[in-house]
Amino acid sequence: MEVTVSFMHLPVYIKDDVIFGKLWEWGVEPASQIRRRFLPGEGKERIADGTRILKVLFNDKVRSLPYSARFDVEGGTEYFKIMHDRQTQVCRQCLKSTHIFKECPDIVCYRCRGVGHFARNCEMRRERRTEDDEPADEETHWDERCVDDVKKSWMGDVYVSNGGTNARGVAILIKTGVVENVKKVEDDGDGRMIGVVFEYMGEMFKLINIYAPNDERGRRVF
């Protein structure tokens, strides 16, 4: 079944290939090139409003796209609305209509690598920590695949510096709606330091997560 799909009000710098990539991940085949919607005007005065429109082919497994999708934007990530005819509520992870995203059995916990639950609900996490929220983590041992899993499960922005060895890795995770204007300002690229600035109640703050070497000589150099 061929359907016209609109990705609403995306930033102009997001490339069309990013949209095509999401469609392929969902198992949906594009049936046309992407065109951009413009505000009323003529000639050079025409201004794109950010909405991208294309035709896609649904199949026996995929009959609807989710109501929104996550995109990387300047300073973090945001969710943008998706619209098409006969759209129904489906899981953002697997596109099945039998459950919503937070109940998806395909979710992978980035802490224990188990499935079917978020890291914030992980039993291993409860054994190791007593607080409900952990804004920063060190010695993460994350790779790129794990970072992708974290971004899918964490409801907010994820900033990481993985480094090149298993003994390194720092991260800062910030929930959506808690603070504003979050930007990454520090990243040593070696898994030792990550830093962000953000606005809270009208004031600017800076948060830095550092994982220093364990040995005395390494600490002096660091």
Buried b (16+ CB within 10 A) or exposed e, 41-79: eeeeeeeeeebbbbbbebeeebebbbeebebeeeebebe
- Does this model's pTM top 0.75? no
Query: Selecting from 3.40.50, 1.10.10, 3.30.70, 2.60.40, what CATH number does the domain 2-100 have?
Result: 3.30.70
Q: How confident is the model at residue 85 (pLDDT cuts 50, 70, 90)?
A: very high
User: In this predicted model, what pLDDT tens digit does every residue of 122-181 receive, in sequence order?
Assistant: 665 444 444 444 455 555 567 777 778 778 777 788 888 876 655 568 888 888 777 888
Average pLDDT, the chain: 80
User: In this predicted model, what pLDDT tens digit does every residue of 18-75 receive, in sequence order?
Assistant: 999 999 988 899 999 999 998 877 666 678 889 999 999 999 889 999 999 989 888 7
User: In this predicted model, what pLDDT tens digit does every residue of 190-199 receive, in sequence order?
Assistant: 888 889 998 8
Return the DSSP state at 107. -
**Every domain of the chain and the residues it spans:** 2-100, 132-221
Q: Residue 153 phi/psi, 5° resolution?
A: -95, -30
CATH number for the segment(s) 132-221: 3.60.10.10
